Amino acid sequence: MSAALEFPVDLPDDPIDRAPALGWTAITLGIATLSLALTNAFSIESWGADLPPSATVARLMDETGHWRATMDRIGLGAPRETMHHSWKSLEEARWPDQQGAASAARDDPDNGLQG
Amino acid sequence: MLFPTLTFGVFFLITFAAVWSARSNEWRKILLLVASWVFYGAWDWRFVPLLVFSALMNWAVAQGIASERFIDRRKALLLCGVAINLVILGFFKYFDFFTEQVGATLAAIGFERDLPVLRVILPIGISFFTFQGISYVVDVYRGRVVPARLLDILLLMSFFPHLVAGPIVRAADLVPQFQTRPKLDRSMVSMALLLIVWGLFKKTVIASELAVTFVDPVFADPASHSALDLVFAAYGYAVQIYCDFSAYTDMAIGLAALLGYRFPRNFNQPYRAQSLQEFWRRWHMTLSQWLRDYLYIEALGGSRFGKLATYRNLMLTMLLGGLWHGANWTFVIWGGLHGGVLAAERLWADVGPKRWPPLPAWVKVIATFHVVVLGWIFFRAASFADAMTYLGGVAHPFAGPAGFTASPLIVLLIGFGLAMHAAPEHWMTDVAVRVRRFPAPLMGVGLATLILVIDAMRFEGVAPFIYYRF
């Protein structure tokens, strides 16, 4: 097995690797973090909700809730929301015979879910 | 603290900033060590001293071996070090299992006794750091590595990217990297980011969706599912466990690379293997190499004592490999199946007719895949009885219930998980070679976009990685 296969992060040589890359990496991570903070406020809010409850977490949840509301108001949360909605539709799709079974279950008078 | 969570993301960004700000390599390693203990302690602080003790013990034994001139004493120290590692592993992992087996045996022969079952909590990652410790003392004994400094051994065994589920990184690979201050280059970072994003996708989208919506319900109650469901759930589990475990190691390799360290590859499209021997060269490669080097060759003698001994050693290695996964007969059967087929492959190569035309590659791939899937049924089933119910349902397709509960998305994900094994072997390297020339802002926006798409698709919540419990 070649060395390139043994260590996946070893790529073929390139002159670009002679320059230090810490700054390039830091800017990449910084921009990615900032972009996600703007476009994925939903996940930040969900993260706060999953933390063990405490006074600090309650304050944090207030802040993340405000942040999400602000991002949603200016439309930055819309791309994630649209993609998530499409994915959920795909999750809920069923084969034709499964839809029949699901309808039959819904129409069953013995089904406890029936109104 | 699971990799695909915001908590870990914040932890990693703080660690990244602190480590790359450190002025000396020693401070850098101390910061990494503290970060690793925080990471491990986030699960259960009580086991951090166990991790430290294990590293201290292996460091002291290795120092003793290196400074001892008499071969008998060196060997005694080696045996002592290996034994302590095995006692630690054995107590936490197998004490209750063996107590229950002894109790059942005594009851069967009429000597029923109340034996102490301690309900021992299994520290996560114990199998991985114990194997790392054993390989270190054996390598020092064999002269393959020189004894390392205490700080390096503490960090080798505690380093958080590989701490809880591998890859098993040996001292020979990692300690030399600790001895000089690492340097980042764009190639390493590009590949690291791709591995992290790809791992995030495999774990949070494919593995989680398959597990929660299809595989878990079918394996929980195989008797009430049709044969078609059972077959698809077995394929689904094959994809789930690959996407779950390879995702962890992809992310571990990527995270270590962002901190400046290189980890070995652990998976290489395992379901395209044409034999079980090849499968083990592609699946959990660092464990299979560990079992080959330290158990099959070092402890059992490998193929040095004739053909029969070779077959026996293959069987024993895989049986113990099965037991390594957990104290359950289903794992032993899984290991026995793999050991039996590996021995049969070797026997066929030794005594099979040489003039027969070889089977087409695709036939060998399909046959190997189905042997692996059969093994996964035992591996995943809660008990031997459940596994037999499962296989009974597959073998008698018209005796059980009818119907098919997998949704189109599940079928699509299983197909995608299998199809990724037919992708060009170096596709990710080719992508990394292109993106390393991107300017940082473009790279940052691209990374954020990919993570946003994955986050929109991910299943709610994050289940622990399957290999956390091993």
Q: Which of B149, B182, B215 is the last residue of a domain?
A: B182
Say if B1 falls within a structural domain: no
Q: Which two tokens stand for residue B242?
A: 């690959």
| Model pLDDT, residue B425 | 85
End-to-end CA gap in chain A = 65
Residue A99 CA: distances (Å) to CA of A102, B103, B384: 5, 51, 35
pLDDT band at residue A105 using 50, 70 and 90 as cut-offs: very low
pLDDT exceeds cutoff 50 at B457: yes
Chain B positions touching A101 (Cβ under 8 A) are 403
pLDDT of the residue at A57: 87
B108 vs B27: which has the higher pLDDT = B27
Interface probe, candidates A2, A9, A86, chain B, greatest B C-beta count within 10 A? A9
pLDDT at B120: 64
> Which candidate in A5, A28, A46 is best for mutational testing of the B interface (most B CBs within 10 A)?
A28
Q: Indicate whether B212 and B75 sit together in one domain.
A: no
Q: Is the pLDDT confidence value at A106 over 90? A: no
Kindly tell me if the per-residue pLDDT of B470 is higher than 70: no
Same domain membership, residue B217 and residue B134 = no
Checking if the pLDDT of B419 tops 60, the result is yes
Tens digits of residue pLDDT in B263-283: 999 999 999 999 999 999 999
Cα-based distances in Å from B209 to A58, A81, A89: 31, 19, 14
Any domain includes A41: yes
* Cross-chain Cβ contact B452/A83 below 8 Å: yes
- Looking at the structure, tell me whether residues B356 and B395 fall in a common domain: yes
Task: Decide if A62 is inside a domain.
Answer: yes
Question: Which of B325, B338, B396, B426 is labelled catalytic?
Answer: B325
B398-413 average pLDDT score: 88
The per-residue pLDDT of chain B, averaged, comes to: 90
How far, CA to CA in Å, does B384 sit from each of B220, B369, B381, B395?
13, 21, 7, 16
Residue B281: per-residue pLDDT = 93
Give B262's contacts in chain A (Cβ within 8 Å): 7, 9-10
Asked whether residue B421 is assigned to any structural domain, the reply reads: yes
Q: Does B173 lie in the same domain as B112? A: yes
Distance, in Å, from the CA atom of B335 to the CA atom of B318, rounded to the nearest integer, reads 5
Q: Which of A7, A17, A80 sits opposite B264 (nearest CB)?
A: A7
Residues B228 and B150 in one domain: no
pLDDT at B401: 81
Kindly identify which residue of chain A lies nearest to residue B441, measuring between CA atoms. Answer: A28
Using a pLDDT cut of 90, give the percent of chain B over it.
66
Judging contacts by C-beta atoms under 8 Å, the chain A residues touching residue B258 are: 25
Q: What is the pLDDT of residues B5-24, one digit of tens each?
A: 889 999 999 999 999 999 89
How many Å lie between the alpha carbon of B313 and the closest alpha carbon of chain A?
24
CA of B30, closest CA in chain A: separation in Å? 20
Number of neighbours of residue B52 by Cβ within 10 angstroms:
16
- CB contact (8 A) between residue A9 and residue B404: no
Quote the minimal CA–CA distance from A19 to chain B in Å: 7
What is the rounded CA–CA span in Å between residue B404 and residue B401? 10
Q: Which positions in chain A touch B449 (Cβ < 8 Å)? A: 35
Give the 3-state secondary structure of residue B238: helix
Query: Measured between alpha carbons, how far is B289 from B274 in angstroms, rounded to an integer?
Result: 19
Q: What's the domain range around A50? A: 32-75
- How do residues B66-89 score in pLDDT, each as one tens digit? 998 888 999 999 999 999 999 998
Which residue in the set A5, A79, A92 is minimally distant from B452, CB to CB? A79
pLDDT at B464: 67
Contact B258 A36 (CB under 8 A): no
Q: Is the pLDDT of residue B318 over 70?
A: yes
pLDDT at A110 over 50: no
ipTM: 0.83
pLDDT digits (tens, 9 = 90+) for A78-92: 999 999 999 999 999
Q: Which residue has the higher pLDDT, B116 or A68?
A: A68
Mean pLDDT of B369-390: 94
Q: Which of A4, A16, A98 has the CB atom closest to B436's CB atom?
A: A16
* pLDDT value at residue A1: 39
Of residues A6, A25, A27, nearest to B441 (C-beta): A27
Instruction: Let me know if B325 is a catalytic residue.
Output: yes
B408 neighbourhood in chain A, CB within 8 Å: 90, 93-95
The reply to whether B32 falls in a domain is yes
Number of domains in chain A: 1
B188 → closest Cβ in A9, A12, A98: A9
% of chain B surpassing 70 pLDDT: 96
What pLDDT digit, counting tens, does each position of B192-202 carry?
999 999 999 99
Which among A12, A26, A35 has the least Cβ separation from residue B433?
A: A12
Q: Is there a contact between B409 and A27 if contact means CB atoms under 8 Å apart?
A: no
* Interface contact A10-B185, CB threshold 8 A: no
Let me know the angle formed at the C-alpha of B184 by B183 and B189, rounded to the nearest 5 degrees.
Answer: 160
Structural domain harbouring B19: 6-182
Q: Do B185 and A35 touch (CB under 8 A)?
A: no
pLDDT tens digit sequence for B124-183: 888 888 999 999 999 999 998 999 999 999 999 999 999 888 788 999 899 999 999 998
B219 with B335, same domain: the answer is yes
Partners of residue B192 in chain A, C-beta under 8 Å? 9
User: Cβ contacts of residue B108 below 8 Å, gap of 6+?
Assistant: none
B269: nearest Cα among B465, B168, B419: B419
- Report if residue A51 sits inside a domain: yes
Residues B137 and B209 grouped into a single domain: no
CB under 8 Å to B18, separation ≥6 — which residues? B31, B35
Nearest residue in chain A measured CA to CA from B429: A11
Question: Which residues have a Cβ under 8 Å from the Cβ of B66 and sit 6 or more positions away?
Answer: B140, B146, B147
**Coil, strand or helix at B434:** helix
Residues B71 and B155 in one domain: yes
Residue B317 maps to a domain = yes
* Higher-confidence position of B270 and A107: B270
* Final residue in a domain of this structure, among B154, B182, B210: B182
How far from the centroid of its chain's Cα atoms is residue B72's Cα?
A: 35
Contact at CB, A25 and B184, closer than 8 angstroms: yes
Contact: B456, A36; criterion CB under 8 Å: no
Note whether residue A38 is domain-resident: yes
Give pLDDT tens digits for A1-43. Answer: 334 347 888 888 888 888 889 999 999 999 999 999 999 999 9
The number of domains in chain B is 2
pLDDT, position B68: 86
Report CA-CA distances (Å) from A65 to A25, A52, B267.
30, 17, 41
Residues of B in contact with A47 (CB under 8 A): 5-7
Please indicate, yes or no, whether residues B138 and B221 belong to a single structural domain of this protein.
Answer: no
Chains A & B: contacts with CB separation below 8 Å? 151
Q: What is the pLDDT of residues B34-53, one digit of tens each?
A: 999 999 999 888 889 999 99
Pair B303, B351 in one domain: yes
Statement to judge: residues B162 and B194 lie in one domain: no
| Sign of the CA dihedral with B179 first, then B257, B429, and B360 last | positive
